[in-house]
Structure 1
Amino acid sequence: MSIRHGLLALLEHGPRYGSRLRTEFEARTGGTWPLNIGQVYTTLGRLERDGLVVQDGEDEAGRVLYALTQAGRAELGAWFARPVERAGGPPRDELAIKLVLAVGAPDVDVRKVVEAQRRHVTDALHEYVRQRALALVRAPEHPDEMARLLVLEQLVCHTEAEIRWLEHCEARLLRRGKKTSAP
């Protein structure tokens, strides 16, 4: 996730102070990716160093406002235009690592590992679907609600894919069990 570009995108709407950027970022991402306020200010410092933002005075409460520069707008436009790279191979997935190590581990019933994970993921799926239904009832035409809805739909899709993968693993394990138990 690019906090750098996320902050640039929020600054496109006008000058903002750090804690407001944090609040808006979390609102736009449906609270899925909370930010540490120190992370926000560290990133703002780097953006300023790189000439992508400038300090633009203070608000009535004395908080420093940051604004996009032309270079910041150009960087933001370039970021929106390029696809997200999938380089470097697949991300490390603790579940995949757990399952492949469980397959060869003595005294581990891999099917029970799969079943426990599927129950956990199914519960998460139900919660995401519930939250999505609530988001649809709210004003989905509002940019913050649309953003939240998109994040929830991504979570639903990823969770459904994990459930399908777990079902595939279970089927493969069952086939393997039948082959090893036959005379």
Structure 2
Amino acid sequence: MSIRHGLLALLERGPMHGYQLRAAFEQSTGATWPLNIGQVYTTLSRLERDGLASPLPENEAGQRPYEITKAGRTALSAWFTTPISATDRPRDELAIKMALAVTTPGVDVPGVLQAQRTATMRALQEYTRLKTREAEPADLAWRLVLDAMIFQAEAEVRWLDHCEASLLRHSRTPAPQPAPQPDPASAAPGHVAATS
């Protein structure tokens, strides 16, 4: 998800200043993707530059709220109606790590797998524990994010199981034997093989 679209979605609710946007973003996502205030203000500057949000006069506390523009609403609508493709998502660091682990000499690949499985199972247990807490109707956004994290962790555990099974199959497959090489002496020009 791009931060710019997240902030536009929040501005669609009404004008907000940077700290309000950060708090609303973290509340909506259950703080699963914390933002620092610098990211918020940098993104607001870009939204203003691109004509997607406009600043309002400062309030009594010296904070400058922003509001979404017509162009911002159009961009937000396009984002909501356009499916996310695999190429829009960040690279999967775990898949890259495993690909490099199996091709780098000296790496304890089963150890890498086990460490990741342990960490993922702990995360899954924590997500499941969080899901059992009493929820208010306003927590729907947070619950949807939490469900996505649970499903991703479950899928990761299944993928790690698949990696482990693939490693076992690969280790049981005998390595191809090199073809026998002819004796260099017998291949020399003018050499006549001995007969008995």
TM-score over 0.5 (shorter chain): yes
Q: Distance in 2 between matches of 1:177 and 1:13?
A: 57
| 2:71 equivalent to 1:56 | no
What is aligned with 2:161? 167
**CA offsets 1:125-148 (integer angstroms, 9 cap, x no match):** 1011111222xx120x21xx1111
Residue ranges of structure 1 left out of the alignment (5+ in a row): none
Which stretch of the first structure deviates more once superposed, 119-128 or 69-78?
A: 69-78
Letter in 1 for 2:40: V
Q: TM-score when scaled to structure 2? A: 0.81
Q: Aligned partners of 1:162, 1:111: CA distance in 2, in Å?
A: 16
The match for 1:177 among 168, 171, 174 is 171
Q: Which amino acid aligns with 1:155?
A: M
Count of aligned pairs: 175
Aligned letter for 1:113? V
Given the alignment of the two structures, is residue 152 of structure 1 paired with residue 152 of structure 2, yes or no?
Answer: no
Deviations 1:67-94 (A, max 9, x none): 1122221221121111113237x74333
Query: 1:150: how far off?
Result: 0.8
Q: Is 2:135 the counterpart of 1:138? A: yes
- Matched position secondary structure for 1:57: coil
> What whole-Å deviation, never above 9, does each CA across 1:107-159 have from its counterpart, x for those lacking one?
4442222122111111111011111222xx120x21xx111111111111111
Partner of residue 34, structure 1:
34
Q: In the alignment, which residue of structure 1 is the partner of 2:78?
A: 78
Deviating above 6 A after TM superposition, structure 1's stretches of 4 or more consecutive aligned residues are none
Matching residue's letter, 2:135 = R
Q: How many angstroms apart in 1 are the aligned matches of 2:102 and 2:72?
A: 50
- What is the DSSP-based 3-state SS (H/G/I as helix, E as strand, rest coil) of the residue aligned with 1:64? coil
In structure 1, the partner of 2:187 is none
CA shift in 2, pair 1:67/1:126, >3 Å? same
1:123 aligns with 2:117: no
The one-character-per-residue Cα deviations of 1:33-75 (angstroms, maximum 9, x if unpaired) are 1112111111111111222212222333221111112222122
Q: Percent identity, please.
A: 55
Structure with bigger helix share is 1
Q: Secondary structure at the match of 2:87?
A: coil
Q: Quote the Cα distance in structure 2 between the aligned partners of 1:52 and 1:103.
A: 46
1 CA distance for matches of 2:4 and 2:105? 46
Counterpart code for 1:138: A
Aligned partners of 1:108, 1:168: CA distance in 2, in Å? 19
> TM-score, normalization: structure 1?
0.86
What SS does structure 1 have at the residue aligned with 2:15? Answer: coil
